[in-house]
Amino acid sequence: MTIETATATDKILSKKNGSVGHLIINNPEKRNAISLDMSVAAGDVMEDFLADDAIRVIVLSGAGGKSFAAGADISKFEKSRATKEDVENYAKTGERFRLLLKGSAKPTIAMIRGYCIGGGFAVALNCDIRVATEDSSFGIPAAKLGIGYASERLGQLVELAGPSAAKDILFTGRRVPAPEALRLGIINYMVAGGDLEEFVENYALTIGNNAPLSVLAAKRGIDEYVKDADKRDYALCEKVVADCFASQDYIEGRRAFMEKRKPAFTGR
Ligand code: COA
């Protein structure tokens, strides 16, 4: 059963399907360009998914079949991103969604069809996993618009593709086709257009059926590991591992193995 929840704008949709929460960017007439209002609504949806115990995996996608997201809504820049104050306010407001996505305690999957550009690419990079159709393309046309990104916001691309490929993508502003994105490690999986939804659904279910505390321990452990050593939260890393070994799910996992049945994990 799918439960749809209204958000502050019909350009961001929230759907819950069992253990999977779907956040859909729904501005297809602008190739799913993201306005500040949409970013606020997307932050609200993330908060709702994170607070809902029934949701174990979050999938982000774009409506309309042509685009995941074509970045920030450029048509709004004149009004909302022109002066120094506007630029700061814009960054601060947009930051909430980015931080909720990046810090999400639940695994996030970007399900990408078509254009994945600028801020849309950033949304995908802030997810844990990216699955894209073979006709998708990726780019950061900042240099074509006169935009600059703070070092922190370039981090994910550098981590995935390395500094040289990141420079190539940013210096040229070119569009990287999905096969190249796969080779560079920017996307985890490339699938045929007709297979995308089914692939992601099965993938999300695979994660959703696993022990949530183990998935969280992996997520936190890896995200802390890629930080500079002096910025790592070692106490958090120890806690998430201790939580696994103290959990009912650990008992359930080993019993199910011995009894040759599928485990039923609760996240406790
Ligand atoms: N902001 C606002 N409007 C956008 C947009 C954006 N980021 N991206 C696309 N649109 C609008 C176009 O202006 C156009 O509007 P119109 O129908 O009123 O003319 C509509 O979406 C369709 O775009 P179009 O360029 O005709 O589609 P396309 O399929 O040929 O190309 C893109 C798609 C995504 C490659 C192209 O629209 C593009 O390069 N967009 C800008 C991407 C960008 O620079 N993003 C970074 C922002 S920080």
pLDDT of residue 268: 95
Question: Does residue 89 surpass a pLDDT of 90?
Answer: no
> Ligand 1 center to residue 213 CA distance, Å?
41
Question: Does residue 131 surpass a pLDDT of 90?
Answer: yes
- The rounded percent of the chain whose pLDDT value lies above 90 is 88
Ligand 1 pocket, mutate which of 11, 30, 87 (most atoms under 8 A from CB): 30
Tokens 């990046």 belong to: 102
Mean pLDDT of 156-171: 97
Question: Does residue 205 surpass a pLDDT of 90?
Answer: yes
Give the end-to-end CA distance of the chain in Å, rounded to a whole number: 24
**pLDDT-derived band of residue 86, with 50, 70 and 90 as boundaries?**
confident
Instruction: For ligand 1, atom 45, name the residue with the nearest CA.
Output: 71
> Ligand 1 center to residue 144 CA distance, Å?
13
Instruction: For ligand 1, atom 22, name the residue with the nearest CA.
Output: 30
- Average pLDDT of the residues of the chain: 95
Calpha distance 71→115 (Å, rounded): 9
> Ligand 1 center to residue 70 CA distance, Å?
6
pLDDT of residue 37: 94
Mean pLDDT of 168-180: 98
> What are the backbone dihedrals phi and psi of residue 10, each rounded to the nearest 5 degrees, phi first?
-75, 0
Instruction: For ligand 1, atom 15, name the residue with the nearest CA.
Output: 30
Question: Does residue 80 surpass a pLDDT of 90?
Answer: no
**pLDDT-derived band of residue 7, with 50, 70 and 90 as boundaries?**
confident
Instruction: Give the position, in ligand 1's atom list, of the atom nearest the Cα of 74.
Output: 1
Task: Name the residue among 124, 170, 173, 174 with its Cα closest to residue 150.
Answer: 170
Note the maximum CA span of the chain. 65
Using a 6 Å CB cutoff, which residues line ligand 1? 30-31, 33, 67, 70-75, 115, 117-119, 141, 145, 147
Alpha carbon distances (Å) from 64 to 7, 78, 113, 115: 19, 26, 9, 11
**pLDDT-derived band of residue 152, with 50, 70 and 90 as boundaries?**
confident
pTM over 0.85: yes
Instruction: For ligand 1, atom 30, name the residue with the nearest CA.
Output: 31
Instruction: Give the position, in ligand 1's atom list, of the atom nearest the Cα of 119.
Output: 48
> Ligand 1 center to residue 30 CA distance, Å?
6
